[in-house]
Amino acid sequence: MENRAPRPFTVTSPYVYNRSQPPHSASRTRGTHRVPKADVAQLVEQLIRNQQVIGSSPIVGSSKFLFQAFAHHRRWALLLSVDRFPESRMRFTRVRVAIALSVAIGAAAAAWYFLGRDSARQTKAKYIKREYRIPMRDGVTLFTQVYIPRETSKTYPFLIQRTPFSVQPYGENQYRPQLGPGAEFDRAGYIFVFQDVRGRFQSQGEFVDMRPHIDQPTPGQTDESTDMYDTVEWLLKNVPSNNGRVGIWGMSYPGFYTSASIIDSHPAIKAASPEAPMTNLFLGDDAYHNGAFMLAQQFQIYANYFKPRSDGPEFPSPKIGSFFDYRTSDGYQFFLAHGPNVDKVASLASNPLLDENIRHDSFDDYWKARDISEHLHNVHCPVLIAGGWFDAEDLAGTFGTYHAIKEKNPGSKVMMVMGPWGHGDWLRSRGAKLGPLEFGSQTGVFFRDKVLFPFFEHYLKDAPAPDLPGALAFETGTNQWRRYESWPPSNAQTRKLYLHANGKLTFDPPSEQENSYDEFVSDPANPVPYVEHPPNELASEYMHADQRFATQRADVLTYRTDPLDKNLTVAGPITVRLRVSSSGSDADFGVKLIDEYPHSDPSAGYQLLIRGEPMRARFRNSFSNPEALKPDQVTEINFTMPDVNHTFLRGHRIVVQVQSSWFPLVDMNPQTFVTIPSAKSSDFIKARQRVFHTPQADSAIVLPFR
């Protein structure tokens, strides 16, 4: 394991805020237009890695990803924004940027093509590919690709990934450039298996989104656990050169299939790694966060990737990733113009899967049946769970799966690794940086080579046991890997940070002498954006974005500590306790925990988002039984935000923000107690929101300090 001296958590950016600009038009001074060679090289590496984690994200492997990788990169998004430069310079600037991007994208595309083709040749030289249609117990066949080492002097374990995102390339003469989660797997030799799950692409049957698990299936009944069991049984009997052992892994949606496969699993399954696994779509994963609908991400997925098929097995459409034409690059205006209600926006996608998610807008039986964490019992193999602190999609599912397996399987071997990564970055990148953040080491390479590979080698090939703790967590702020027996750390002690008048944030409770509340007006026609310039698709960088643009808005309350006189490390889940009122009968109260850099730092004033979550007030007492607010009555709003492992360094400030919209990350709350998806335009009203800080009605954020 890496053990480096502490190094500050650094932020690098070619832009500096111009504080002379009005609040809604914060600008930056112009930086260079040159595309750094390192960025092109990193992009090429990421694209090739994306070929082997195609199951983890629907856009990987598509040519569209080339453009997205640049267009979503902070510096290019800023340079391409129309309001960045005076009109006299705008046309010349845009031309220079366009040329730079064209050259960079062309170079990356060419390198991707030739390097990817060469890697596929190397795969073909070492492995022979076979394609099968494996029968399940109900007669449905699942399309399965098997890559078998050409060297037959020894036996090999299976390493299986099941995916709804296609196992392409199809055809026994078409090879992937990489087969395992890391290059070490390909060199070491495994029998790699990829399978289209039931109802997707070349597999038969009906696709069910997050298919509910059946605890005691009757003969002929199937779920994801039985499909894996039947697959393993067939492989053991029909694929030569196997050693009788099976490992399974997957990230995101394939992480869900991995979790489902270890329940009452086949005895040959000896190790599993569910990574950022989808676990509970309503309680914190892709679809809803605390009752608020994740609008941008859900529309992106179901408008462009998850299209129900009409007539049996099919090959992936070349339009995947671009079925829907937004006709604009401005996601904020797109969702405002096509709203305000979610049903109206969803009608553009014409996808019954999206309609189903929207229709079930509370934690009802539909979602409860799909909560795989409730069924994670009878897990017999060692499990390595991985996730990223900056995962914009399945952060909650990572912790939910870890805790469920530990609680329902006492004595089981379960480990968790949390690194400074976005969704799947531990498989796709070197992990030395994430956007403007630098971590001082190649954390992704470390995970693949020193954690994941030794884990499977030990349990599938009897290699020496890796030196892994119960929880290995990267500590942002100090850039250190920390080892714990379990997560969260047992020595963490909670303390309340209280909100005060005049934007103060302290460990002391409020007094009678200060003003009793702060207030703002929330306007559905002018919601707070979740990043300064929201694109159409999910801007996953919001998880670590600079919040200064929000600080300047009148509808965002900001509370700051004095500069810290010592380092403070927060390790574990964050609890929010608000005392609020609203002039409406419903409201959202979003809370953000922020690390503000000192003016002595090269990143002076940077407000780094550490964690943020919305909370829909109608679900304050139950996610299954919504209740209206009583207008202007003080109400208690309590909720939990996902865990962090971050050190606020000496001289930094801890900042908390409170707001009532986060658009279009989440849908707009009309601020009236109506059925939100079908709310009429007239239901969307302005509301006066108050946050109280008195001895009798205090508001605080509860942090677990280590």
pLDDT in tens, 161-191: 999 999 999 999 999 999 999 999 999 999 9
pTM, whole model, 2 decimals?
0.88
Does the structure show a pLDDT above 50 at 694?
yes
Count of helices and strands (H, E) across the chain: 17, 28
Residues of 391-427 as b/e, b for ≥16 C-beta within 10 angstroms? bbbbbbbbbbbbbbbbebbeebbbbbbbbbbbbbbbb
Q: Are 637 and 580 spatial neighbours (Cβ–Cβ below 8 Å)?
A: yes
**Which pairing describes strands 141-149 and 414-419: parallel, antiparallel, or unpaired?**
unpaired
361-383: average pLDDT: 98
| Host H or E run for residue 44 | helix 37-52
Task: Spell out the CATH class of 127-391.
Answer: alpha beta
Q: Are 611 and 395 spatial neighbours (Cβ–Cβ below 8 Å)?
A: no
> Where does the pLDDT of residue 43 fall: very low under 50, low under 70, confident under 90, or very high at 90 and above?
low
Q: Worst-scoring range by mean pLDDT, 102-111, 122-131, 481-490, 512-521? A: 102-111
Question: Residue ranges of the domains in the chain?
Answer: 127-391, 493-705
> Where does the pLDDT of residue 436 fall: very low under 50, low under 70, confident under 90, or very high at 90 and above?
confident
Q: Are 474 and 464 spatial neighbours (Cβ–Cβ below 8 Å)?
A: no
The reported pLDDT for the residue numbered 435 is: 87
Query: Cβ-count burial of 649 within 10 angstroms (0-12 exposed, 13-18 middle, 19+ buried)?
Result: buried
The reported pLDDT for the residue numbered 342 is: 96
pLDDT in tens, 282-291: 999 999 999 9
The reported pLDDT for the residue numbered 198 is: 98
The one-letter amino acid at 572: G
The reported pLDDT for the residue numbered 110 is: 58
The reported pLDDT for the residue numbered 4 is: 36
Q: How far apart are CA 106 and CA 67, in angstroms?
A: 10
Q: Worst-scoring range by mean pLDDT, 69-78, 153-162, 308-317? A: 69-78
Average pLDDT, the chain: 88
Q: Where are the alpha helices (DSSP H) in 507-595?
A: 548-551
> Where does the pLDDT of residue 358 fall: very low under 50, low under 70, confident under 90, or very high at 90 and above?
very high
Of 393, 300, 289, 400, residue with least CA distance to 351? 300
Q: Are 79 and 90 spatial neighbours (Cβ–Cβ below 8 Å)?
A: no
The reported pLDDT for the residue numbered 311 is: 86
CATH number for domain 493-705, candidates 2.60.120.260, 3.40.50.720, 2.40.50.1020, 3.40.50.300: 2.60.120.260
> Where does the pLDDT of residue 204 fall: very low under 50, low under 70, confident under 90, or very high at 90 and above?
very high
Pick 465 or 69 by higher pLDDT. 465
Q: Where are the alpha helices (DSSP H) in 53-193?
A: 64-71, 74-79, 87-126, 183-188
Q: Are 639 and 290 spatial neighbours (Cβ–Cβ below 8 Å)?
A: yes
Does the structure show a pLDDT above 50 at 125?
yes
Pick 307 or 620 by higher pLDDT. 620
The reported pLDDT for the residue numbered 80 is: 39
The dihedral over CA atoms of 575, 581, 585, 586, expressed in degrees to the nearest 10, equals: -30
Of 64, 665, 646, 588, residue with least CA distance to 392? 665
197-207: average pLDDT: 97
Does the structure show a pLDDT above 60 at 697?
yes
